[in-house]
Amino acid sequence: MIDVDALARPIIDLVDTVGTGAPSASGPDVGIRIATDALEIAYQLGSAALSELASSQSSSTALTAAVTKTEQTQTSTRNLADRGTDIAGVVRLARGSGARVACDNTWATPLLQRPLTLGADLVMHSTTKYLGGHGDLTGGAIVARAGDDDPVFERVRLAQTSGGAVPSPFDCWLTLRGLKTLELRMERHALNATAIADALVRHPLVRAVYFPGHADHPGHQIAQRQMTGFGGMVSFELDGTVDEVVAFVSSRRFFALGESLGGVKSLLSHPARMTHASIPAETRHALGLSDTLIRLSPGCEHPNDLVADLIDGLDALAAGTHRASAVAHEV
The domains found in the chain, sorted by start residue, are 4-179 (3.40.640.10), 182-330 (3.90.1150.10)
Confidence (pLDDT) at 32: 42
- pLDDT for the residue 96: 86
Helix (H) or strand (E) holding 103: strand 101-104
The stretches of 106-253 forming alpha helices (DSSP H) are: 109-112, 151-163, 169-180, 182-200, 220-226, 242-249
Cβ burial, residue 260 (10 Å; 0-12/13-18/19+): middle
Output the pLDDT for position 4.
Answer: 47
Distance CA 152, CA 157 (A): 9
pLDDT at res. 5: 53
Taking the CA atoms of 238, 240, 244 and 246 in sequence, report the sign of the dihedral they define: positive
Q: Who contacts 235 (Cβ-Cβ below 8 Å, separation ≥6)? A: 80, 209, 210, 211, 293, 294, 295, 296
DSSP 255: P
Q: Any idea what the Cα angle at residue 163 is, between residues 158 and 166, rounded to 5°?
A: 90
Tell me how far apart the alpha carbons of residues 27 and 264 are, in angstroms, rounded to a whole number: 38
Start-to-end CA span in the chain (Å):
61
Strand partners, 235: 210, 295
Backbone φ, ψ for residue 22 (5° rounding):
-65, 145
pLDDT of residue 144: 86
CA–CA separation, 145 vs 147, rounded Å?
Answer: 7
pLDDT of residue 51: 40
- Torsion of Cα atoms, 322 then 249 then 192 then 232, to 10°: 130
Q: Are 95 and 254 in contact (CB under 8 A)?
A: no
Dihedral angle over CA of 41, 43, 49, 51, nearest 10:
-170
Are 294 and 181 within 8 A, CB to CB?
Answer: no
Instruction: Please tell me the pTM assigned to this model.
Output: 0.74
Q: Distance (Å, rounded) from C-alpha 195 to C-alpha 307?
A: 7
Q: Give the pLDDT score at 235.
A: 96
3-state secondary structure (DSSP) of residue 130: helix
What pLDDT is stored for residue 17 in this prediction? 52
pLDDT values of the chain reduced to their tens digit, one per residue, 331 residues: 445 455 455 555 654 554 444 444 444 444 444 444 444 444 444 434 434 433 333 332 223 333 333 332 333 334 455 668 899 999 999 988 888 899 999 999 999 999 999 999 999 999 999 999 999 999 999 888 776 667 777 888 888 888 887 889 999 999 999 999 999 999 999 999 999 999 999 999 999 999 999 999 999 999 999 999 999 999 999 999 999 999 999 999 999 999 999 999 999 999 999 999 999 999 999 888 999 999 999 999 999 999 999 999 999 999 985 333 333 333 2
Decide if 87 contacts 68 (C-beta within 8 A).
Answer: yes
Kindly tell me the sign of the dihedral angle through the C-alpha atoms of 33, 43, 101, 139. Answer: positive
- How far is it, in rounded angstroms, from Cα 142 to Cα 158? 13
The Cα–Cα gap between 26 and 280 comes to 34
> 49-53: which pairs have CB atoms within 8 A and are 24 or more residues apart?
49/2, 49/4, 50/85, 50/90, 52/1, 52/2, 53/90, 53/93, 53/94, 53/97, 53/99
Q: 125 has which bridge partners? A: 141
